């Protein structure tokens, strides 16, 4: 079993929603809001909303898409916005640019819909993040598995999804440590490909645990793959 | 002000069965940096109303996490509460002609309460307009003050809001239940959702025999579909609109309608609405109009659990926690897209939204034709409540707020 000098520290992140001053009742106003709002607002309505709606695996991607679908009643634009995959972004600026482009292009194609009032107003909010050590760390794959097993949803989300922005890489904390810390490049890559849109956080974690167990069996054929706490 | 002893104590560990051990561990991790730091909650009533109900649960849970927490109730005479009741209605948008005397009464009682308690906890949370003026006690910015507004301020009476704003703008943070209710303020404004307690009598699991007994008592047939709206008999809850929607559905499905709400005996308008609802229901034995006692949590729980579909066809709504209660019980919900309801009912994901009687009827028919979709919406609704609208989440938001306020100084 490989043990590393720099252990993986598990954190948890709690979020407060801060209400902003921008809102939109038409697609034109939505575009203006997307251009002007803070990075914390784009994060809130895309990354953070995926975390708080993690149990939905069909059709829900981000707040913008949901508002365009349910309130502005523009299914085609909603589908395009929903198709944006936050895993493709390592910066909020790039994500904002694509959101703006999609809304702008739709308004250009359909000027008749651009000024139409939606049923309800869209309010731009922001996420205020507080990170706290979870009190768990891992220096090898066994301890990593044990930590994963005991994580809250918010902690798992923090390391697996929102970490992409922190790292400015198209990867996550877990894959980053598996590759850089333990040298397990293939495992790191497979973990990074777990689909967070078609999985709930629970099922994504279950997949990750299965992958880790498979790796542990390679190194220790006697391992049954069960976490210590479940034995 | 009067210190309040909380009525009910449910150990924090009991919530592990509902939210999981990991989520409890997270609460403890968030509370750790706050251990021993004092909190004071202040409102205007110890019993009755949603705020008291939440504080009754929240305070003991915070205590268990190691936060010395006090709950105080502001005292006032009849004249004070008459004024604050008028303020309350005016802040909801009702017409009102405030006199200088009204503001003077508010200031006078605020002043009297200021001298009764030190108000020196590290974090002071003041709930609603009545005690908002206590910010005057703030000793030179050494502690952190947050104003928690539980009411809809989207269309407030201008003069009343301007008066209140002079106090609110002195806080470190203001908290609202919906972005729509927030105002332009010089302080950060946060979004906190109201919360239900999954272990309370209104929401905990019930034995099937008890549910059957309640249905028998109210002469509701358990073998035919039951549509239910739980709400006060209030025009803004549109009970007559619910009956009209039911009548459309009835053309296609042999169903029953239960309209159940608290006693209207002390509310003249409620009594009138109840009379109109009863009149509208005459001749249809499948419409059950139930005037429940003011406190009947187990009956409400049983009726929600027995329902095929829960309706909340409000014309205007604050947050509408009855929706979360139904979703927690995995019930498919058809509700109006007003107030805080769309936050709970994410259209096509955790329930269905409607904008009219006909739309409500259509969505009910759709769910009755597709029980598998109804079941999926109910399952998702339960998860949505678990993630966002439980008392443990409310506690987590307060802990996060305290950590944020501490960092900000």
pLDDT of B170 reads 95
Residue of B125, B349, B356 to mutate, testing the A interface (most A Cβ within 10 Å of its Cβ): B349
**What confidence score (pLDDT) does residue B336 get?**
94
Over residues B153-163, mean pLDDT: 93
pLDDT above 90 for B154: no
Q: What DSSP designation does B95 have? A: -
What average pLDDT does the segment B211-238 reach?
95
Min Cα–Cα distance to chain A from B205, Å: 22
Q: Distance between CA A185 and CA A183 in Å, rounded?
A: 6
Residues in B touching A203 (Cβ below 8 Å): none
A65 to chain B, any CB pair closer than 8 A? The answer is no
Percent of chain B at pLDDT > 70 equals 97
Pairwise CB contact (< 8 Å): A151 & B22: yes
Identify which has the larger pLDDT, B51 or B48: B51
| pLDDT interval class at B284 (50, 70, 90) | very high
Helix axes B268-281, B239-250, angle to 10 degrees: 20
Separation of alpha carbons B399 and B101, rounded Å:
39
Q: What is the pLDDT of residue A229?
A: 47
Quote the pLDDT of residue B130.
94
CA distance A204 to chain B (A): 16
Please determine, for residue B264, whether its predicted confidence score (pLDDT) is greater than 60.
no
Q: Give me the residues of chain A with pLDDT under 70, please.
A: 54-55, 57-60, 221-231
Q: Please report residues of B whose CB lies closer than 8 A to that of A120.
A: 337, 342
| Cβ contact, residue pair B189, A18, below 8 Å | yes
Taking the alpha carbons of A93, A96, A101, A107 in that order, is the dihedral positive or negative? negative
Contact A121 B32 (CB under 8 A): no
Quote the Cα angle for A168-A59-B340, to 5°.
Answer: 95
Give the per-residue pLDDT at B1.
65
pLDDT at position A201: 86
Output the pLDDT for position B215: 98
* Domains within chain B, CATH numbers bracketed: 2-195+390-408 (3.40.50.2000), 208-388 (3.40.50.2000)
pLDDT tens column, B171-194: 999 999 999 899 989 999 999 999
Using an 8 Å CB-CB cutoff, list chain B residues near A54: 387
Nearest to A56 among B349, B396, B399 (CB): B349
- Model confidence over B313-331: pLDDT tens digits? 999 888 889 999 999 999 9
- Write the CA distances from B156 to B175, B190, B342, integer angstroms: 16, 19, 22
Q: What's residue A161's pLDDT? A: 87
pLDDT for A231 equals 36
Given this model, what pLDDT does residue A57 score? 65
pLDDT at res. A199: 82
Mean pLDDT of B83-93: 89
Chain B residue nearest residue A151, CA to CA: B22
Element of type H or E holding A18: strand A8-24
Q: How confident is the model at residue B263 (pLDDT cuts 50, 70, 90)?
A: low
Cβ A55–B387 below 8 Å, yes or no? yes
Separation in Å, CA of B72 to nearest CA in chain A:
25
Residue B191 structure tokens: 């979004």
- Adjacent-strand bridge partners of B73: B2, B43
Yes or no: say if B40 and B125 are a contact pair by the CB < 8 Å rule: yes
pLDDT value of position A58: 67
The sign one gets for the Cα dihedral B298, B300, B305, B306 is positive
Residue B128 has pLDDT above 60, yes or no: yes
* C-alpha torsion B267→B269→B271→B273, nearest 10: -140
In 3D, which of B244, B230, B255, B96 has the Cα closest to residue B163? B96
Query: CB-CB: which of A14, A19, A119 is closest to B182?
Result: A19
Partners of residue B349 in chain A, C-beta under 8 Å = 53, 56, 59-60
Q: What is the pLDDT of residue A226?
A: 56
Give B48's pLDDT tier (boundaries 50, 70, 90): low
Which residues in B lie closer than 8 A to residue A56 (C-beta atoms)? 346, 349, 380
Q: Does A151 touch chain B (CB under 8 A)?
A: yes
Averaged pLDDT of chain B:
92
B30–A132 C-beta distance less than 8 A? yes
What is the spatial distance between Cα B203 and Cα A54, in angstroms, rounded to a whole number? Answer: 23
- Residue A145 has what pLDDT? 95
Among B15, B29, B327, the residue to mutate for chain A (most A Cβ within 10 A): B29
Verify whether the Cβ–Cβ distance A153 to B342 is below 8 Å: no
Nearest residue in chain B measured CA to CA from A134:
B29
Q: Is A87 helix (H, G, I), strand (E, B) or coil?
A: helix
What is the per-residue pLDDT for B32?
95
pLDDT at B265 over 70: no
A121 touches chain B (CB under 8 A): yes
């Amino acid at each position: 079993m490989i043990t590393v000098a720099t252990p993986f520290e598990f954190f948890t992140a709690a979020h407060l929603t801060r209400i902003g001053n921008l809102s939109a009742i038409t697609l034109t106003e939505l575009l203006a809001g997307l251009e002007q709002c803070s990075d914390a607002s784009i994060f809130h309505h895309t990354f953070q909303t995926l975390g708080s709606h993690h149990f939905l695996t069909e059709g829900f991607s981000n707040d913008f898409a949901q508002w365009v679908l349910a309130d502005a009643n523009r299914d085609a634009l909603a589908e395009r916005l929903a198709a944006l995959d936050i895993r493709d972004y390592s910066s909020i600026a790039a994500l904002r640019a694509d959101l703006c482009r999609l809304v702008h292009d739709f308004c250009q194609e359909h000027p008749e819909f651009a000024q139409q009032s939606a049923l309800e107003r869209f309010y731009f909010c922001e996420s205020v993040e507080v990170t706290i050590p979870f009190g768990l760390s891992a220096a090898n794959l066994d301890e990593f598995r044990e930590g994963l097993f005991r994580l809250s949803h918010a902690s798992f989300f923090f390391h697996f999804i929102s970490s992409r922005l922190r790292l400015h890489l198209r990867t996550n904390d877990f894959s980053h440590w598996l590759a850089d810390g333990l040298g397990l490049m293939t495992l790191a890559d497979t973990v990074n490909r777990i689909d967070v849109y078609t999985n709930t956080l629970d099922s994504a974690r279950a997949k990750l645990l299965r992958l880790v167990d498979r790796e542990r069996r390679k190194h220790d054929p006697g391992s049954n793959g069960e976490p210590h706490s479940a034995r | 002000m009067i210190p309040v002893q909380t009525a009910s104590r449910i150990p924090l560990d009991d919530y592990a069965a509902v939210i999981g051990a990991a989520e409890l561990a997270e609460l403890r991790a968030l509370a750790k940096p706050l251990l021993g730091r004092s909190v004071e909650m202040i409102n205007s009533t110890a019993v009755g109303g949603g705020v008291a109900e939440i504080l009754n649960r929240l305070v003991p849970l915070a205590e268990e996490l190691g936060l010395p927490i006090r709950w105080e109730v502001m005292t006032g005479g009849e004249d004070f509460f008459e004024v604050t009741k008028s303020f309350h209605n005016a802040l909801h948008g009702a017409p009102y002609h405030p006199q200088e005397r009204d503001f003077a009464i508010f200031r006078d009682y605020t002043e009297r309460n200021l001298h009764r308690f030190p108000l020196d906890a590290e974090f002071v949370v003041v709930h609603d307009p009545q005690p908002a003026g206590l910010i005057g006690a703030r000793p030179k910015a050494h502690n952190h003050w947050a104003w928690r507004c539980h009411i809809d301020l989207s269309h407030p009476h201008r003069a009343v809001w301007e008066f209140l704003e002079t106090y609110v703008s002195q806080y470190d943070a203001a908290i609202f239940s919906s972005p729509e209710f927030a105002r332009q303020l010089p302080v950060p404004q946060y979004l906190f959702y109201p919360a239900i307690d999954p272990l309370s009598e209104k929401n905990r699991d019930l034995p099937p025999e008890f549910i059957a007994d309640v249905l028998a008592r109210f002469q509701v047939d358990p073998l035919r579909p039951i549509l239910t709206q739980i709400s006060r008999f209030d025009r803004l809850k549109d009970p007559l609109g619910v009956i009209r929607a039911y009548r459309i559905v009835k053309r296609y499905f042999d169903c029953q309608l239960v309209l159940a709400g608290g006693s209207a005996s002390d509310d003249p308008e409620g009594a009138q609405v109840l009379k109109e609802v009863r009149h509208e229901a005459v001749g249809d034995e499948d419409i059950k109009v139930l005037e429940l006692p003011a406190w009947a949590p187990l009956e409400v729980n049983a009726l929600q659990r027995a329902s095929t579909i829960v309706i909340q066809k409000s014309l205007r709504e604050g947050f509408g926690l009855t929706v979360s209660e139904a979703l927690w019980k995995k019930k498919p919900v058809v509700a109006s897209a007003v107030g805080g309801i769309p936050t709970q009912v994410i259209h096509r994901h955790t329930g269905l939204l409607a904008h009219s009687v006909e739309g409500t009827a259509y969505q009910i028919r759709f769910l009755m034709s597709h029980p598998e979709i109804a079941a999926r919406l109910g399952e998702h609704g339960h998860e949505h409540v678990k993630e966002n609208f439980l008392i443990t989440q409310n506690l987590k938001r307060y802990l996060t707020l305290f950590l944020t306020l501490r960092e900000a100084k």
